[in-house]
Chain A
């Protein structure tokens, strides 16, 4: 298993957000995570990425348990094993599209065929541009490219289509799933869209801190 989440709990003050959540993800598998606003989808995603601590439970990525790792080790784990995509793209504004695409891969010492990657993402004409010169859909393509370029074992996508129109959202979703499949990566994607969620290999619905 690429990802194993066991009995994870998370509270914000007296409010319990996640109450013993467990899941597993195999390589090449695409899982959609749905739920109402405030149900804890993004919190779970952030905890899996090692961005946010959990109150109880265990998360293992590629055989490494997160709770045993220090901050810097979590960062290294993230850099080498996880690709993250945010709703607001969160590209690095000072770098060009080409530099953004290759950034994480080069951090891990991996080489990237930028031209091939850009071609697969439809970004060939935009490689020299800066993120602010692109449309929302194009920016999200760059974010996907950055996430998959490093050949991560796990891709975490937090509502990647939330800021896009339906047609663009569909295209981006398909691109993400295809890219994950091509790289053999496990994909956990948070979405509000039941339509898109139904196109994943598996669907998990979070409610009152549990999967239903």
Chain B
């Protein structure tokens, strides 16, 4: 019997292939964007694990103040029973930016170190020495073609990392010493205390992938949020298709119940049908997800490298877990989308008469329920906003507000339609237009909710990105005030370089710095001189009145906004610096794009407290017209590589390039979400078009030509899209505010001013009208061209 009943249920889809297509498309799109994002996140997580295992998988010894360790200290430790292996950690310039290098000593290195696996691929004599082999993953090796003869591709090395002999790394990175010493396992029982041999060193626990993951959490959460949004929008399509199929099959269900099929049996078979569809659509969705992930991954990798310094391989390797979780999410999505309909089937009264207008009749009750749920969602959002203080609470606030907005939409639209009816003139067609549009709301509300979410997300994200771009551009103008930035190739070159440029420029501004742990987290310490360039340009958010005078007197420190927010520090507070000394905070400056805490000290303080500071970088102030001449002179005199002489315009272009690439992924996901919403509108209008005939046929019979009806139907789609857009604007702006003032602060540690971009909204309005117009055009055209016999059939079939 089950087989017969199942075939009866399935026969519905054979007669309505478009509805079947809608269901599969919705589920496939929902699964695709969700599983695509998950694939990207999984790939990034795998890369973080690989990097952590190679770069910091062992306990290390490093200098307390961040200086390099001398060869003498290394020898002394070995002589005193410490089994340590030296590592040099630095950067070199590849063909498209910096590549991290890791110099190792193959003779003392632990066999358990993952770098040893890479070593197994080559002969040790080829590897050793300062002109030995450079080992890198294939993608990284392609970025190192400037070292071509020495580079060897080896699978399994963390992305963005090159492994070489320590001597080679010291030469290439210009490091005279050892970055850290790794402690080998199974240390001898008898060894001299560390404080006696090398009191300047400190033991550090292994880094874990979590450190990098924590840093990039906000980015991945952002991707996940987009994936979830697209998933929800896709489910709206599925819910619409399943709901419609239920309404159309209601007589079949009633008949089946009447001839003895139990509610449980009927629901079980419908669940079976749904699982079949979920597997089919889920499979398609996973395939689409792979394509989406593969297309987005290069941009994601570039973003993670540019914004966080995290290296992610640009190619996908997918695990069976991903495939299975993709299918599971498809089944879960189908179950969520069909839950209400299945419940209705379970409660179906076989004697109840068919009610083609069930949706409409239930609309006021549904709207009340939706408003109640919206109230709850708003409450949850407010609680998260007021009491929460982490990224998850920020996203809860965001999610709550979006859900509340979506659930309020039908009521708000109904109100706007009432207003429209009052404001427009009277007349039978006008009255019918507004009344009929209102009646269609329940059937279209899910698609319109999807459109609202997509439009609001678009407005919110584009406002956030636009505000960020404006702020970032202005900030770059302030921060990059010097006309040229130069970097000496090594410390020996510095004095000669300064002597050479000083008579040729207006000012030489040292940009000297060192890396150190600041208040327990990795950070940077810079030194500056008191110069009008800083007084006029430095982007201070808050500062004591005589901030630059203090710097001039060699007093106080400036900190970046990230550090200020993280540690709740403000001007006047005492800052505990690495090396056990303190200073007073004189000001806080904005420092967009930097994930690390940063301190700026007067230059003399920096040099006296941290003598090993990197002194190779300078900013030069001069007439911009003199930049090309100076560049040529520097190249001729010192043979500086192009990347060591960067003019302001190039640096700004480079920074803006990173910025644009950072948000390329958001933009792509934004477009994809909007596309899914467009599909939702299209499928809803097309499926409803069939149901509309009984409502349109009497009006046609009374004497309204089909072409007029078609124009009205088309106009109706535009009006609904327009009203949804009007409501999406405030929702999008609230979303932007939450992103700028809550999520950004939690995720990156900086707050951004919000700017409005009405021109973008006009484009978006045009786009949504185009979407709705196209979606409405097909049914309208069908109606205009529909043979009268089809409309006649409405009257005949009702007999």
A162 at the binding interface (Cβ < 8 Å): yes
Contact between A102 and B798, CB atoms less than 8 A apart:
no
Q: How far is the CA of A82 from the CA of B701 in the complex (A)?
A: 10
Which residues of chain B come closer than 8 Å to A77, judged between CB atoms? Answer: 703
B799 touches A95 (CB 8 A): no
Q: How far, in angstroms, from A77 to B705 measured CA to CA in the complex?
A: 11
How far apart are the CA atoms of A75 and B435 in the complex, in Å? 22
Q: Does B246 contact A (CB under 8 A)?
A: no
Q: Which residues from chain B contact A80 at a C-beta distance below 8 Å?
A: 703
Answer yes or no: B439 CB below 8 A from chain A CBs. Answer: yes
- Does A103 contact B428, Cβ atoms closer than 8 Å? yes
Interchain CB contact under 8 A, A84 and B701: yes
- The one of B428, B701, B705, B788 in contact with A99, judged by C-beta atoms closer than 8 angstroms, is B428
* Stretch of A48-56, A59-67, A165-173, A193-201 lying at the B interface: A48-56
Segment at the interface with A among B11-19, B171-179, B691-699: B691-699
B residues near A88, Cβ cutoff 8 Å: 795, 798-799
Interface presence of A128 (CB below 8 A): no
Which B residues lie within 8 Å of A78 (CB)? 701-703
Closest CB in chain A relative to B172 CB, distance in Å: 76
**Contacts of A52 on B, CB cut-off 8 Å?**
788-789, 792
- Counting CB contacts under 8 A, is B722 at the interface? no
Other-chain residue from B361, B431, B789, B796 in contact with A42 (beta carbon distance below 8 A) = B796
What residues of chain B lie closer than 8 Å to A99, measured between beta carbons? 428, 431-432, 435
- Cβ-defined contact, A75 with B361, below 8 A: no
A86 proximity list for chain B (CB < 8 A): 698, 701, 795, 798
Q: Mark A31-54, 1 if CB is under 8 A from B, else 0.
A: 000000000001000100101110
Q: A52-B788, A92-B695, A93-B360 are in contact. Are A75 and B428 (CB under 8 A)?
A: no
CB-nearest residue of chain B relative to A72? Answer: B705
- Residues in B neighbouring A95, C-beta threshold 8 A: 431-432, 435
A75 / chain B contacts, CB cutoff of 8 Å: 700, 703-706, 708
Partner of B799, one of A51, A146, A162: A162
Instruction: Decide yes or no whether A106 CB sits under 8 A from chain B.
Output: yes
Q: Which residue of B lies closest to A75 (CB)?
A: B705
Q: List residues of A (91-118) whose CB comes within 8 Å of B's CBs.
A: 91-95, 99, 102-104, 106-108
Residue in B closest to A131 when the chains form the complex, CB atoms:
B357
Instruction: List A contacts of B701 (CB < 8 A).
Output: 49, 51, 78, 84, 86, 90
B429 at the interface (CB under 8 A from A): yes
In the complex formed, the residue of A with least CB distance to B355 is: A132
Residues of chain A within 8 A (CB-CB) of B795 are 42, 46, 86-88, 90, 158
Measured CA separation A146–B699 after assembly (Å):
12
Instruction: Give CA–CA (A102, B795) in the complex, Å.
Output: 22
| In the bound complex, CA of A90 to CA of B435 (Å) | 16
Residue in B429, B431, B697, B706 whose beta carbon sits within 8 Å of that of A71 in the complex: B706
Interface size of B by CB at 8 A reads: 34
Chain A residue with Cβ nearest B701: A84
Q: Is A181 an interface residue (CB 8 A)?
A: no
Which B residues are in CB contact (< 8 Å) with A90?
Answer: 694, 697-698, 701, 795, 798
A76 within 8 A of B: yes
A108→B704 CA distance, assembly (Å):
11
* CB atoms of B432 and A94 under 8 A apart: yes
Bound together, the chains give a CA A11 to CA B703 distance in angstroms of 25
Considering the complex, give the chain B residue whose CB is closest to the CB of A71: B705
A79 at the interface (CB under 8 A from B): yes
**Residues of chain A contacted by B439 (CB below 8 angstroms):** 93-94
CB distance from B796 to the nearest CB of A (A): 7
B438 CB-CB contact with A under 8 Å? yes
| B433 and chain A: residue at smallest CB distance | A94
Query: How long is the Cα–Cα vector from A31 to B118 in the complex, in angstroms?
Result: 99
Contact A107 B705 (CB under 8 A): no
Which of B357, B702, B707 lies in contact with A107, CB distance below 8 A? B702
In the assembled complex, B791 has its CB within 8 A of some CB on chain A: yes
Q: How far is the CB of B375 from chain A (nearest CB, A)?
A: 29
Please name all residues of chain B whose beta carbon is closer than 8 Å to the beta carbon of A102 when the two chains form the complex. 428
A106 engages B427 (CB within 8 Å): yes
Q: Kindly state the separation between the CA atoms of A84 and B429 in the bound complex, as whole angstroms.
A: 18
Per a CB cutoff under 8 Å, which of A53, A93, A106, A146 touches B695? A93
B103–chain A nearest beta-carbon distance, Å: 77
Quote the shortest CB–CB distance from B429 to chain A (angstroms). Answer: 7
Chain A, interface size category, equals: 35 or more
Task: Please give, as numbers and ranges, the residues of chain A lying within 8 Å of B643 by CB-CB distance.
Answer: none
How long is the Cα–Cα vector from A146 to B438 in the complex, in angstroms? 22
Please state if A79 and B799 are interface contacts (CB–CB under 8 Å).
Answer: no
Is B210 close to A, CB under 8 A? no
Instruction: Specify which of B357, B435, B703, B705 lies most central, judged by the most chain A CB atoms within 10 Å of its CB.
Output: B703
Say yes or no for B211: interface residue by CB 8 A criterion.
no
Contacts of A51 in B (CB 8 A): 701, 788, 791-792
Contact (Cβ within 8 A) A46 B357: no
CB pair B702–A84 under 8 Å, yes or no, is: yes
B436 within 8 A of A: yes
Contact check, A87 vs B798: say whether CB atoms are below 8 A apart: yes
B430-476 contacts to A, CB under 8 A, are 431-432, 435-436, 438-439
**B residues within 8 A CB of A49?**
701
B607: min CB distance to chain A, Å:
81
Cα of A42 to Cα of B699 in the assembled complex, Å:
18
Q: Provided the pairs A88-B798, A92-B695, A94-B438 are in contact, do residues A104 and B431 lie with their beta carbons within 8 angstroms? A: no
Nearest-CB residue, chain B, relative to A49: B701
Contact A104 B438 (CB under 8 A): no
- Chain B residues with Cβ under 8 A from A71's Cβ? 705-707, 788
User: B436 — nearest CB in chain A belongs to which residue?
Assistant: A94
B residues within 8 A CB of A108? 703
Contacts of A104 in B (CB 8 A): 428, 702-703
Complex CA–CA separation, A90 to B699 (angstroms):
9
Contacts of A146 on B, CB cut-off 8 Å?
702
B796 and A106 contact, CB distance less than 8 A: no
Cα A86 to Cα B793 with chains together (Å): 12
Q: A86-B795, A94-B439, A95-B435 are in contact. Are A72 and B697 (CB under 8 A)?
A: no
User: In the bound complex, do residue B698 and residue A76 qualify as a contact, i.e. CB atoms below 8 Å apart?
Assistant: no
Q: Which residue of chain A lies nearest to B360 when distances are taken between CB atoms in the complex?
A: A93
**How near does chain A come to B37, taking the closest CB pair, in angstroms?**
42
CB distance from B799 to the nearest CB of A (A): 6
| Contact B799 A132, beta carbon cutoff 8 Å | no
Least CB distance from B244 to A in Å reads 18
Considering the complex, give the chain B residue whose CB is closest to the CB of A91: B698
A91 and B701 CA atoms in complex are apart in Å by 11
Q: When chains A and B are docked, how far (Å) is the Cα of A80 from the Cα of B702?
A: 9
A75-B703, A78-B703, A84-B702 known; A107-B428 Cβ under 8 A = yes
Interface residue ranges of B346-378 to A (CB < 8 Å)? 357, 360-361
Which chain A residue shows the least CB distance to B440?
A: A94
Determine the residue in chain B with the shortest Cβ distance to A89: B698
- A-side contacts of B694, CB under 8 Å: 90
Residue contact A92 to B698, C-beta cutoff 8 Å: yes
Distance between Cα atoms of A108 and B699 in the complex (Å): 13
Q: Please indicate the chain A residues that have their CB under 8 angstroms from the CB of B796 in the complex.
A: 42
Q: Are A93 and B357 in contact (CB under 8 A)?
A: yes
CB proximity of B755 to chain A, nearest CB, Å? 43
Task: Report the minimum CB–CB distance from B783 to chain A (whole Å).
Answer: 12
| Chain B residue nearest in CB terms to A162 | B799
Q: How far is the CB of B468 from chain A (nearest CB, A)?
A: 46
Within 8 A of A (CB), among B2-36: none
Provide 22 A-B residue pairs closer than 8 Å at the C-beta atoms, listed in order of the A residue.
Answer: A42-B796, A52-B788, A52-B792, A72-B705, A75-B700, A75-B705, A78-B703, A79-B702, A84-B701, A86-B698, A87-B798, A90-B698, A90-B795, A93-B360, A94-B439, A102-B428, A103-B428, A106-B428, A107-B429, A107-B704, A132-B357, A132-B361
Q: Which 3 A-B pairs have the closest CB atoms?
A: A79-B703, A90-B698, A94-B435
Besides the known contacts A72-B707, A86-B701, A99-B432, 13 further A-B residue pairs in the complex with CB atoms under 8 A apart: A46-B792, A52-B789, A71-B705, A76-B705, A88-B798, A92-B436, A92-B699, A94-B435, A95-B435, A103-B432, A107-B702, A107-B703, A108-B703
Q: Which residues of B contact A (CB under 8 A)?
A: 357, 360-361, 427-429, 431-432, 435-436, 438-439, 694-695, 697-708, 788-789, 791-792, 795-796, 798-799
